[in-house]
Amino acid sequence: GWNVQNYPKHSQTNSDLKDIINQLDVDIIAFQEIENNQAFNSLIETLDGNWTGYRTDSNSNYGELAYAINTEQIDIISIDNILSEDEYYFGYRAPYVLEFIFNDESYVMINNHYKCCDINASDFERRVIASQLLDDYIDNFLDNKKVIIIGDLNDSLDDPDDSNAFLPFLNDSNNYILADWDIAIGLDDYWSFPNYPSHIDHIILTSELGYIFNNGNSFVETLLIDIEFYNSWNEYDQMISDHRPMRLVLQP
């Protein structure tokens, strides 16, 4: 999951992203804040491998959700928005669902960009309701599926109950795994949003993925692109984003 802020932020953004992604060895990137469809298509065309790109609205200049998918190992079943009638609660960015097959197993990824900030009294409440809506949707339509909830969820996992936007997932450990929990409660050096600093980009799995995620070979990490590819945080922030990407590795 990668919030590439106001994409593309800089005239060099695509050139840098191409070099970075080609070195990352990833199959799927769930993007947030893709504002320019033409630039996004140009990026997809320059990547090494058989990449294809999908964006929620190709005619919009709004910061949309998008997927970049390397189809060398991924078979796409479907891509579509869900809960569009409730998009207000998701900051007018209805969750973007990718169903795919990897190594003969079927998975469902739900890309999200929750409402940001606490400027208005309703901002936090919208995140709370967004989590409830996702939980209900998974209960009703994705029961027994291997589901990956991913994206910029704009809130911390470890807030007290009265100010926690993720209680449907936190309070249901039988059905959900907070895959980046250790990062959320760990050193701020590895948080996804250093400007604040806070850790607000998350990966939540349904329990059907437990046997894979808990076997010792799978993990979640914050990709320190600012350190590995740039001389400073400010340079990364200027060229790419104010968010770091989060990577999920699933190895059965």
Per-residue pLDDT reduced to its tens digit, 163-206: 999 999 999 999 999 999 999 999 999 999 999 999 999 999 99
The more confidently predicted of residues 58 and 37 is 37
Q: Which two tokens stand for residue 41?
A: 């298509």
Q: Are 132 and 168 in contact (CB under 8 A)?
A: yes
Place of tokens 């939980």: 135
Q: What pLDDT digit, counting tens, does each position of 114-139 carry?
A: 999 999 989 999 999 999 999 999 99
Q: How confident is the model at residue 31 (pLDDT cuts 50, 70, 90)?
A: very high
In this prediction, residue 252 carries a pLDDT of 82
d(CA 162, CA 217): 35
What is the distance between the alpha carbons of residues 190 and 192, in angstroms, rounded to a whole number? 7
Residue 186 pLDDT? 98
By C-alpha distance, which of 8, 9, 41, 48 is closest to 26? Answer: 48
Residue type, 50: N
pLDDT value at residue 180: 98
Mean pLDDT of the chain: 97
Collapse the DSSP code of 22 into the 3-class scheme (helix H, G, I; strand E, B; otherwise coil) and give the result. Answer: helix
Hey, which residues does 33 pair with through a beta bridge?
none
d(CA 35, CA 9): 10
Place of tokens 């894979």: 212
Contact by Cβ (8 Å): 229, 20:
yes
pLDDT at 245: 98
SS3 208: helix
